[in-house]
Amino acid sequence: MNTKILHHVLRINIFAMVFLAIGAGGISAQEKPNPQMIRVESALVTVPVIANNAKGRFLGGLTSDDFKLFEDGIQVPISLFLTSEDPVKIALLIDTSQSTTTVLRSIKKAAEQFLLQMRPQDQALVVGFDTEIRTLCPLTSDPGELKEGIKKARSSGSRTRMRDTIHEIAQKKFRSLTGRKAIILLSDGQDKGSKISAGDLLNTVAASNTLIYSIFYKVDPRELMEELFGVESRNRRSFLSWEEQEKKAVAYLTQISELSAGRVYTSEVRELDLAFKQISEELRSQYLLGFYPDESRLDGSMHALEVRVSAPDAVIRSRRNYRSIPP
């Protein structure tokens, strides 16, 4: 066989193996948290609330007297009440694995614009993750430092430790912080190499008082192959495998986001600005309620949460349950 043709075939086969290797790190959309592994980060249970009118417009100016909070159908006193005027702490997690090679520049540009629109009282940190987890910028409100942190993001490692990174932020960096907190995750969702399992991460999210907004973006496998290997591929089987992994990734991102009372956004890379805009608007339209459950409630079982607002025609979205056991 001609040497040039042989090299071409080898590259195509290697690329197919890359797809399969990424898929091997996939998760099941049916993962469930194990109640025996959940720990509350403190006795305080926080309940993020978005209150809109029937037309979808934010209901501002509400006070704690306008809200009623129920645990298992029984009203509980509201011990914490924060409004959209209170500061929010944001962890921006950027997937920097090799699968982002063709899209990372656009991701960084959109992320930079989002962080530059933060209010003076807000703070953010920037983390890049692939084979390693790197803090590119510590928690700060300085736009210049945040911009430099995003610039440091580089596509490198072959692995994608997405679950480990979320766990690291929720359980360590954000655990001791009070007030409004949110993780914004930018990834194709295809974890490979994390030590924490998909189910155990759900445990972490269920015990955390941190919102998670996931932004899933598509990566064109043909463009990625050409960028990494300099050749094109028409291997339909590899592309079908890639699409299947994308579906599983979106399903899992939806799980962790909704469990935290956040949301998942699926976006083309060129439309990331719109996803960021929607997240920004929601963070600026969020109330945060908190209560201290009776010790008898820290029994390892799931407890229902309900929020009611006295405003007429109010449409509420809030955390619907929590599960915890004594630390």
Amino acid at 36: Q
DSSP state of 172: I
pLDDT in the model for residue 11: 41
Q: How many CB atoms lie within 10 A of CB 74?
A: 10
Q: Give the model confidence (pLDDT) of 113-172 as tens digits.
A: 898 888 999 999 999 999 999 999 999 999 999 999 999 999 887 789 999 999 999 988
Contact 255, 33 (CB under 8 A): no
Q: Which residue has better confidence, 312 or 32?
A: 312
pLDDT score at 38 = 41
Can you say whether residue 193 is alpha, beta or left, with left for phi > 0 and alpha for psi between -120 and 50 degrees?
left
Record the tokens describing residue 319, joined without a space: 């955390």
* Tens-place pLDDT, residues 90-105: 999 999 988 787 788 8
Q: Which domains does the chain possess? A: 45-84+285-323 (no CATH), 86-283 (3.40.50.410)
Q: What is the pLDDT of residue 20?
A: 39
User: Considering only CA atoms, which of 29, 16, 26 is closest in space to residue 190?
Assistant: 26
CB 52 within 8 A of CB 315: yes
Question: pLDDT tens digits for 229-240?
Answer: 455 555 555 555
- Indicate the average pLDDT of the chain: 81
Quick: pLDDT tens for 277-304: 889 888 888 899 999 998 877 777 778 8
For residue range 174-196, list pLDDT tens digits in order: 988 888 999 999 988 889 899 99
Tens of pLDDT, residues 20-64: 344 444 444 456 554 443 444 457 889 999 888 888 888 888 999
